[in-house]
Amino acid sequence: MSPTDPGSETPPAQIHGLAGWRRVVVWPLAVLVRLWGRSLRFEVAPEDLRNLTKRDEPVAIILWHNRLFMVAEIYRRFRRGRLTYSLVSASKDGAWLDAFFSQVGIRTVRGSSHHLGREAVGVLVARLRAGHDIGITPDGPRGPCYKFKPGAFVVAKRAGVPALLLGGEFRSARRLKSWDRFFVPRPFSCVRIRCSVVSAAEIHNDALTAEELQRQLQAINPD
């Protein structure tokens, strides 16, 4: 899940995929992650649960890149039955995430701010207008961490849909030495889920900026 910049020129780009033994490795890895996710205890307040299970219209789900570990389990518990498309980088790294998402029922759109930007935006908007959800990490795929790039905002605004801001507070987790300090919750630990909905009317208000959405997303994602 990574944001796009529709104003940039789209250079020739290759969409990388997995083949051979790499594709085979993804299946047991996906099984492990699914079992790991099912061991987690999710705490969700009633208002957050209402927002998280919102199904009356398509939404653009927005979360920080370092919270991606919980996506598959959140989809299984709260969003299953909603066809969801995730924006995944066209890079070799993105190929692994693309293969994993295919194992857990999440479809992908390949692209990023550097590769296939305009095409990815158009596909995401089309998916939303067709009634499906999308998922984007506004600071992905390479950061800076917690920098809300405007692509996610632009996609929701063009499609005329609400944004579902998703947050996770990990009671016990390891943080990787990656650019985003990726969270890996320990098995059987507790994750406090927070989320808020930014309505389509608010998205279309010229007073709302990417910086304000960044502030709101940071508020529900305490480190």
| Domain presence at residue 4 | no
Residue 157, SS3? helix
In a domain, 13, yes or no: no
In a domain, 9, yes or no: no
* 116 touches 153 (CB < 8 A): no
Asked if residue 3 is part of any domain, the answer here is: no
Q: Measured on CA atoms in the order 80, 85, 89, 93, is the torsion positive or negative?
A: positive
Q: Report yes or no on 1 lying in a domain.
A: no
CB atoms within 10 A of CB 29: 14
pTM: 0.86
Residue 79 sits in which domain range? 21-219
> Domain with 196 in it: what CATH number?
3.40.1130.10
Tally of domains in the chain: 1
Assess whether the previous peptide bond of 141 is cis (omega < 30° from 0).
Answer: yes
Reference 74, options 52, 46, 57; nearest CA is 52
DSSP 18-79: --THHHHHHHHHHHHHHHHHHTPEEEE-HHHHHHHT--SS--EEE--GGGGGGHHHHIIIII
pLDDT in tens, the chain (223 residues): 544 443 333 334 577 777 777 777 888 988 999 999 999 999 999 999 999 999 999 999 999 999 999 999 999 999 988 999 998 887 777 888 888 888 888 898 887 655 446 788 889 999 999 999 999 999 988 899 999 998 888 999 999 999 999 999 999 999 999 999 999 999 999 999 999 999 999 999 999 999 999 999 999 999 8
Residues belonging to the chain: 223
Q: Where are the beta strands (DSSP E) in the chain?
A: 41-44, 60-62, 84-88, 107-110, 133-136, 163-170, 173-175, 183-185, 190-198
* Whether 110 contacts 89, CB under 8 Å: yes
The answer to whether residue 14 sits within a structural domain is no
